[in-house]
Amino acid sequence: MGIFNTIPAAFPWIVLIASCLALYHPPLFTWFSGNWITLGLGGIMLGMGLTLRLVDFLRVTQTPRWVMTGLLLQFTVMPFFGWLLGKVFDLPPFFAVGLILVSSCPGGTASNVIVFLSRSNLALSVTMTALSTMVGIVMTPLLTSSLSGSEIHVDALGLFYTTLKVVLVPVVLGVFLNAQLPRYTQKIQFYSPSLAVILITLIVASIIGQGKEIILGSGISLIFSIMTLHLAGFILGYFLSKIFLKEEGVSRTISVEVGMQNSGLGVVLAKENFANPTVAIPAAISSLVHSLYGSIFVALFSNRTAEPPMEKAN
């Protein structure tokens, strides 16, 4: 049982070592691709759903300003810094557009994993992921085209289907099983954090391995711009929500939701909507950077539980 307590705590090192191995010898992880990534994300979300109850979601609906504050920060802080950093680091146009694109894609499931492992407000995280993905159907192309001057088309139906399949269905199934079979789900819950770390590591390492050549040749200025982008998201997401909402667990959750992006979506949108394949490079590097930051976030907060008060509603 000891190893299952150790794995979540070692998350930063596991992600970093796996990413380095993926760059050194990609076949170690590139086998985990295609449907495996979809199944892996679904498995993570199912495991998280097993830890949730309906009352957790009712609490979120009773505090709509939590969700609205988070969504506002997601669609303002990151896109603005994506545009600004492209100027500050004087990135080539295709990298600058890619940075704006990934900064306009909130709502990835990796953020749910980090919130889960850091013992923050998981119900709020899942709700924000679903809502920001839906809002992103309109806001992602709007922000990308307005900030970069490029037109981009989003497959709304496909995006909705993916969100339904990977986020909502597994979580709802987990909540249902937790309500109906609590004796069994309590036994599984012990292993869920470790399984989540293993699966998210496989996913990140696979993406890094597949993009080895473009990542190694992308240039130091691009890497630093992406590191700055996500760091700004984590810091501003935490402190701005702390000022407005004054809830530790909620501020942690919004910090993660703002600081982490749907990098996988950014890669797909770039490949399908831009003739220049290098537009996808910032999103590929983003998947590693925000996962490393997220794992550090887990190491800092996983032993400091911050449950939002049940009685507060607004």
Q: Is pLDDT at 306 greater than 60 in this prediction?
A: no
28-37, 65-74, 150-159, 181-190: least confident range:
150-159
Q: pLDDT tens digits for 87-103?
A: 999 888 888 888 998 99
Domains and CATH numbers, the chain: 7-301 (1.20.1530.20)
Q: Are the C-beta atoms of residues 140 and 269 closer than 8 Å to each other?
A: yes
Q: Please report the pLDDT score of residue 26 as a whole number.
A: 93
228, 95 contact by CB (below 8 A)? no
The more confidently predicted of residues 50 and 303 is 50
| Alpha carbon distances (Å) from 151 to 98, 136, 273 | 12, 15, 8
pLDDT digits (tens, 9 = 90+) for 23-80: 899 999 999 887 888 788 788 878 878 877 777 777 667 778 898 999 999 999 999 9
Which has the higher per-residue pLDDT, 185 or 240? Answer: 240
- What is the pLDDT confidence band of residue 197, given thresholds at 50, 70 and 90? confident
Average pLDDT value for the chain: 82
Single pTM value for the model: 0.78
pLDDT at 313: 39
User: Nearest to residue 171, comparing CAs of 119, 118, 117, 124?
Assistant: 124
User: How much is the average pLDDT of 156-160?
Assistant: 67
Residues 6+ apart with CB under 8 A from 266: 98, 101, 102, 105, 280, 282, 283, 286
Instruction: Calculate ∠ Cα 80-94-36, nearest 5°.
Output: 85
Rounded-to-integer distance, Cα 295 and Cα 289, Å: 10
Q: Are 223 and 285 in contact (CB under 8 A)?
A: yes
Distance CA 230, CA 226 (A): 6
| pLDDT of the residue at 151 | 56
What is the tens place of the pLDDT at every residue in 238-284? 999 999 988 888 999 999 999 998 887 787 778 777 777 778 888 88
- On whether the CB atoms of residues 259 and 233 are closer than 8 A, the answer is yes
pLDDT for position 159: 64
pLDDT at 130: 77
